[in-house]
Copies of this chain bind each other. A is one copy, B any other.
Amino acid sequence: MKTTQNIDVTVDAIVFGYNKEIGVTVLLIKRKNDPFKGQWALPGGFVEPTESLELAVARELKEETGVKINYLEQLYTFGQPDRDPRKRIISVAYFGIVKSSQFKKLKAADDAEDAEWFKIKHLPALAFDHQKILKMAIDRLRSKMIYQPIGFELLDKKFPFSDLEHLYSTLLGRPIDRRNFRKKVMGLGILEELDEKAPSLGAGRPGNLFQFNKATYNQLVKEGMHFEI
């Protein structure tokens, strides 16, 4: 039994936000204390002696940003010996994606001087190895989209098809072939076309609204798929 290990354990949260107008954002906090005082970082902190890792990450997120989420997924554990200048600290990172319009009111407190959604295309310099952690989370999110459907929690209940196109294109960070995309999505059997028109926003003819078929959607989440676009 070693008693000289002297490693501390933290949790970090990568919360992606999606919003049709703004695109993909990530929730960051401005550090109130050293090291990296005044710099932006992922929300997170030390695990309390008797709480689970899942409770710790939900608690830190709420304390530092006011955002309450308890369905984050474990991403990876970062343990390079020199990743923190204070002492050896191993961090277990969790990630998830939410509709950012549900979390407009951020409330920085505790170790955070400020909390804000940042576009993932325009990020500030991040403290520690948080840029590396964030990059892994983005990669994981993009590869997850290939083998699981996405969108159920992120789009409105009824939406024009272009919203789904926009979601995929935004999360992937590149344009998609619209005709091919539509064909492939319809082939998955998770979308129902409604007999209801989307409100017309421009000169184009308004298309029908769509909704997810929750049963087939959930089945695909469970079984997996391969959706390359």
Contact = CB atoms under 8 A, between A and B. Distances in A.
Contacts of A228: 223-224
A218 to B, nearest CB: 17
Given A147-B147, A224-B147, A226-B147, A5 B9 contact: yes
B77 A77 contact: yes
What's the interface size class on A, roughly?
20 to 34
Interface string A183-227: 000000000000000000000000000000000000000011110
A2 B6 contact: no
A52 B77 contact: no
Interface of A: 1-2, 4-9, 46-47, 49-53, 74, 76-77, 79-81, 86, 88, 90, 92, 143, 146-147, 223-226, 228
30 contacts: A2-B8, A2-B46, A4-B49, A5-B8, A5-B9, A5-B47, A6-B49, A7-B9, A7-B47, A7-B49, A9-B9, A47-B79, A49-B81, A49-B88, A50-B81, A50-B88, A51-B81, A53-B77, A53-B79, A53-B90, A79-B92, A90-B90, A146-B224, A147-B147, A147-B224, A147-B226, A223-B228, A224-B226, A224-B228, A225-B226
